[in-house]
Amino acid sequence: MDFTRLFDILDYQQERFPQTVAFAGREGGIWRKWSTSELIAGRDQLSAGLLAQGLRPGDRIGVLAHCGSPKWIVADAAMLQLGMVPVPVHATARPDEIAHIFRDAGLRAFFVSNADMLDKLRQADVAPEHLFSFEPLPGALHWDTLCRQPDAEQAEQIRQARDAVSDTDLATLLYTSGTTGAPKGVMLSHANIVGNVKSVLAIVPVGPEVTAVSFLPLSHIFERMVTYVYQAAGTPVWFVESLELLPETLREVRPHFFTAVPRVLERTYERLLERRKAAGFLGKKILDWALALGERYPFAGAHDMPWGYRIKLLAADMLVYRRWRRAMGGRLRGIAVGAAALQPRLGRLFSAAGVDVREGYGLTETSPVVAFNRFEPGGVHFGTVGIPAPGVDVRIAEPDAQGEGEIEVRGPNVMRGYWNLPDETAARFTPDGWLKTGDMGRFEFKRFLRVTGRISEIFKTTTGKFVAPAYVERQLLRSPFVDQCMALGLNQPFVAALIVPNFARLEVWCREKNVHWTAPEFMVLNPKVEKLFRQEIERINAGHLGPVEQVQGFQLLSGPWTAENGLLTPTLKLRRKAIEAQFEKEVSALFGKK
Beta-carbon neighbour count of residue 436 at 10 Å? 16
> Of 152, 21, 14, 33, which Cα lies nearest the Cα of 77?
14
What's the predicted TM-score (pTM) here?
Answer: 0.86
Task: Please list the residues that pair with 441 across neighbouring strands.
Answer: 405, 451
> What percentage of the chain has pLDDT greater than the value 70?
98
Give the DSSP per-residue string, 327-365.
Answer: HTTS---EEEE-SSPPPHHHHHHHHHTT-EEEEEEE-GG
Mean pLDDT calculated for residue range 412-426:
95
Among 209-213, 397-401, 561-565, name the one with the lowest average pLDDT: 561-565
The β-bridge relationship of strands 356-362 and 369-372 is antiparallel
Q: 588 near 197, Cβ under 8 Å? A: no
Among 34-43, 112-121, 189-198, 238-247, name the one with the lowest average pLDDT: 238-247
Length of the chain: 594
CA 467 – CA 465 distance, rounded (Å): 7
Q: State pLDDT tens for residues 451-500.
A: 988 888 888 887 787 888 988 998 998 898 999 999 999 888 899 999 99
Mean pLDDT calculated for residue range 348-371:
94
Q: 499 near 554, Cβ under 8 Å? A: yes
Band of the pLDDT at 278, cuts 50, 70, 90? confident
CA 190 – CA 58 distance, rounded (Å): 14
Residue 593: the pLDDT is 55
CA 36 – CA 42 distance, rounded (Å): 10
Among 223-237, 404-418, 454-468, 484-498, name the one with the lowest average pLDDT: 454-468
pLDDT at 504 over 60: yes
Residue 456: the pLDDT is 84
Q: Where in the chain is the domain with CATH 3.40.50.12780?
A: 8-194, 261-456
Residue 457: the pLDDT is 85
pLDDT at 575 over 80: yes
CA 422 – CA 461 distance, rounded (Å): 35
Band of the pLDDT at 176, cuts 50, 70, 90? confident
The β-bridge relationship of strands 109-112 and 130-133 is parallel
Mean pLDDT calculated for residue range 237-257:
94
Band of the pLDDT at 563, cuts 50, 70, 90? confident
> Of 218, 259, 265, 245, which Cα lies nearest the Cα of 111?
218
> Of 32, 46, 35, 48, which Cα lies nearest the Cα of 74?
46
Give every CB contact of residue 249 below 8 A, 6+ residues apart in sequence: 213, 215, 238, 240
Mean pLDDT calculated for residue range 532-544:
93
pLDDT at 210 over 50: yes
Question: What is the arrangement of strands in the sheet containing 417-418, beginning at the earlier edge strand?
Answer: 170-175, 185-189, 417-418
Kindly report the CATH number that applies to the domain delimited by 8-194.
3.40.50.12780
Mean pLDDT of all residues in the chain? 92
Q: 347 near 359, Cβ under 8 Å? A: yes
> Of 41, 44, 112, which Cα lies nearest the Cα of 72?
112
Beta-carbon neighbour count of residue 67 at 10 Å? 21
Beta-carbon neighbour count of residue 14 at 10 Å? 18
Element containing residue 18 per DSSP (H, E)? none
pLDDT at 269 over 60: yes
Residue 302: the pLDDT is 47
CA 212 – CA 217 distance, rounded (Å): 15
Q: State pLDDT tens for residues 59-114.
A: 999 999 999 999 999 999 999 999 999 999 999 888 989 999 999 999 999 999 99
Q: Dmax over Cα atoms in the chain, in whole Å?
A: 77
**Cα 394 to chain center, whole Å?**
21
pLDDT at 535 over 70: yes
C-alpha to C-alpha distances, 551 to 110, 442, 464, 529, 592, nearest whole angstrom: 47, 24, 16, 17, 15
Q: State pLDDT tens for residues 104-154.
A: 999 999 999 999 999 999 999 999 999 999 999 999 999 999 999 999 999
CA 524 – CA 517 distance, rounded (Å): 11
Evaluate the omega torsion of the peptide bond into residue 138 and state whether it is cis, within 30 degrees of 0: no
Residue 594: the pLDDT is 37
Give the DSSP per-residue string, 373-415.
Answer: --SSTT---BTB-BEEPTT-EEEEES--TTS-EEEEEESTTS-
CA 444 – CA 450 distance, rounded (Å): 7
Residue 546: the pLDDT is 86
> Of 432, 380, 374, 381, which Cα lies nearest the Cα of 408?
432
Residue 303: the pLDDT is 54
Kindly report the CATH number that applies to the domain delimited by 261-456.
3.40.50.12780
pLDDT at 265 over 80: yes
> What percentage of the chain has pLDDT greater than the value 90?
73
Beta-carbon neighbour count of residue 146 at 10 Å? 21
CA 430 – CA 358 distance, rounded (Å): 30
Q: 133 near 113, Cβ under 8 Å? A: yes
Beta-carbon neighbour count of residue 80 at 10 Å? 25
Answer yes or no: CATH 3.40.50.300 is held by domain 458-590: no
Q: 24 near 237, Cβ under 8 Å? A: yes
Residue 146, classed as helix, strand or coil, is helix
- Looking at residue 30, its amino acid is I
Task: Please list the residues that pair with 534 across neighbouring strands.
Answer: none
